[in-house]
Structure 1
């Protein structure tokens, strides 16, 4: 888990925090977490070995994964190394499993730029070729690997993810949350994602502006990026300053509170390897409208309103329908989400280890 910088790695951090402790609790596995210096103090429910790199520095991340990790894993006597974030050591005297969450760098190249983009273009195909088994989150990603990288389908196992468990964290009370985030008494539409171009938040703002007044209040939690300045500027140009709340990284309690008071959840991403927020909203009984791209239609099924993420009017229509959704839609989402669990993800992951051994 050399990639994991706490609070900065989005869905991949959720994946690691839910999966690793469950794997460690299995009787037939002995698990060691190899972490970077930023995550040295984090508890993953198993023994930790600190790889002496700062993962915010992409070159250090690569050096840690490709040079230091194989030596440390061999010294620990590891029989198998599972890399959780799409890249992996290409050699070592152990079996190698890699989870490739998506091919964002190829399908939506603007999502990865600079040194990170170059690294993904080189390291993801290397990981796919050198791994003994590959795990993906969705069938659509298996097809992406086969189409774009030529990876044999038989080498790839689809292991769906799950949302954050419901009821573990007490939500911030509605009155307190409305006061702290300046939400007033308005209807809330929620979207949860990093402020990155491929998340398509710019078109979501354009769509919101097409709705007649009084509009719902769009709340946008997620860790900030340079793209947020562009989003804020466009919101001002569209006259949406009073209709949007840009919220940074949100505590688990506040996020649960936002799910509890939201009238609907919208996820307009151009491409996702899975789309954890969609599943999390469904599990909490929040009506969902989401993009029909990548894995999202596969994850949402018929329990969400689907739209073309490049059609602002289509998004606006979905938002309007979301505000008038019938009472059965939340139940459909809850049932859909119930098919996913981290215990099932863990069991299927351990089965992949046995195939790779």
Structure 2
């Protein structure tokens, strides 16, 4: 199979993790991949060929227009059998071969208040066109596929499949211990998007302390522009010394923090997949999640689930997770071990071949 992979939007966050690990695991005999990245990108494409594309400014507008021209040309020059768009923001015209579009989540439609008006408009146009051009849709979770087909009922007739992410990349992290073992680090939670609910986590820690619960120390990652507000909240709640705030960490430091964590606290109220859930489980770390569809789907019954999105509900779930014994953590690790990038490649390839 000769495949053009559109990775022009894969420079940051979860989409970058997805693309880099998918490409690293893609070594099917006879397959040749040509990966489109933007000019100067440091996205790792492994042993696969790459084509750097200059994107006209402004990027959000210039990228789909440039993709439309370049993708069609590369398909012809490379003799591609198919195109894999790793985001539903790709060519605005038909490319001459089957197009597979990966759908991560529908947050811009279900939580529009979290996006600017201009970004919502751009996504509506670009994503809508990608959905309509897709010969097959690959969703990263059943939750995302259900959302897509509910909000865009005409897509129910488009061939679709669910391909979960892998988690086995964590096994190569320094200090990773892929078995149940006490961790010396703090509990880890996230603040890079509002759906991660960092303020709720702080309230839960304060509630737990007031109730005499034995809660671990807490580190909040990715505080960004919320840092001042979160720091004030830590002081107001009397959590100074128990809670530390961290910015976006370099990748090496992030991996070290995750591998050392005593718990992953992930009370997100909206996810497309929820990669930290299976990452934590595969590392043998107790995981706490909210009662959110994608999180429940990925966790498979092996996380401590909040009874509600409330401080008492989260504090109780954290206390429950801290009591997970070796058998419970082993079962969670065995569940997470099924999430491999080789499986993701095989299922993606099958969708393309079909």
Would the TM-score normalized by the shorter structure come out above 0.5? yes
Q: Matches of 1:98 and 1:252 in 2, distance apart?
A: 27
Q: Matches of 1:128 and 1:4 in 2, distance apart?
A: 18
Q: Is structure 2 residue 174 aligned with structure 1 residue 170? A: yes
Instruction: Report the alpha carbon displacement of residue 196 of structure 1 after superposing the two structures with TM.
Output: 1.3
**Cα distance change of structure 1 residues 28 and 334 upon mapping to structure 2, 3 Å threshold:** same
Instruction: Report the alpha carbon displacement of residue 60 of structure 1 after superposing the two structures with TM.
Output: 3.1
Which residue, out of 3, 19, 28, partners 2:9? 3
Which residue, out of 161, 186, 189, partners 1:157? 161
Q: Which residue of 1 is the match for residue 102 of structure 2?
A: 99
Moved more, 253-262 or 138-147: 253-262
Q: Which residue of 2 is the match for residue 121 of structure 1?
A: 124
Q: Which residue of 1 is the match for residue 83 of structure 2?
A: 81
Deviation per residue, 1:111-142 (Å, 9 max, x gap): 33243332223322221121000001111211
The answer to whether the 8 Å contact 1:141/1:273 transfers is: yes
Counterpart secondary structure, 1:44? coil
Q: Which residue of 2 is the match for residue 180 of structure 1?
A: none
Instruction: Report the alpha carbon displacement of residue 42 of structure 1 after superposing the two structures with TM.
Output: 4.0
Q: Which residue of 1 is the match for residue 18 of structure 2?
A: 15
Q: Is structure 2 residue 194 aligned with structure 1 residue 197? A: yes
Counterpart secondary structure, 1:33? strand
Q: Is structure 2 residue 146 aligned with structure 1 residue 110? A: no
Counterpart secondary structure, 2:265? strand
Q: Which residue of 1 is the match for residue 143 of structure 2?
A: 140
Deviation per residue, 1:71-99 (Å, 9 max, x gap): 34444333311111232223222221110
Q: Is structure 2 residue 284 aligned with structure 1 residue 285? A: yes
Q: Matches of 1:229 and 1:157 in 2, distance apart?
A: 42
Structure 1 segment 259-298 matched on structure 2, within 5 A? 259-298=258-297
Gapped regions of structure 1 (runs ≥ 5): 174-184
Deviation per residue, 1:27-85 (Å, 9 max, x gap): 23210000002415744321110110279932233333344433344443333111112
What's the C-alpha RMSD, in Å, of the aligned pairs?
A: 2.6
The answer to whether the 8 Å contact 1:32/1:49 transfers is: yes
Q: Is structure 2 residue 329 aligned with structure 1 residue 301? A: no
Moved more, 26-35 or 55-64: 55-64
Q: Which residue of 1 is the match for residue 340 of structure 2?
A: 341
Instruction: Report the alpha carbon displacement of residue 103 of structure 1 after superposing the two structures with TM.
Output: 0.5
Instruction: Report the alpha carbon displacement of residue 154 of structure 1 after superposing the two structures with TM.
Output: 5.5
Q: Matches of 2:258 and 2:352 in 1, distance apart?
A: 35
Q: Matches of 2:102 and 2:57 in 1, distance apart?
A: 18
The answer to whether the 8 Å contact 2:64/2:92 transfers is: no
Counterpart secondary structure, 2:32? coil
Deviation per residue, 1:209-263 (Å, 9 max, x gap): 21116752211223x5434443333333333333222223334543443334322
The answer to whether the 8 Å contact 1:104/1:112 transfers is: no
Count residues in correspondence: 338
Counterpart secondary structure, 1:220? strand
The answer to whether the 8 Å contact 2:288/2:318 transfers is: yes
**Cα distance change of structure 1 residues 56 and 230 upon mapping to structure 2, 3 Å threshold:** farther
Deviation per residue, 1:163-188 (Å, 9 max, x gap): 14243132299xxxxxxxxxxx9862
Q: Which residue of 2 is the match for residue 39 of structure 1?
A: 41
Gapped regions of structure 2 (runs ≥ 5): 1-6, 178-182
Normalised TM-score (structure 2): 0.86
Which residue, out of 73, 98, 113, partners 1:71? 73
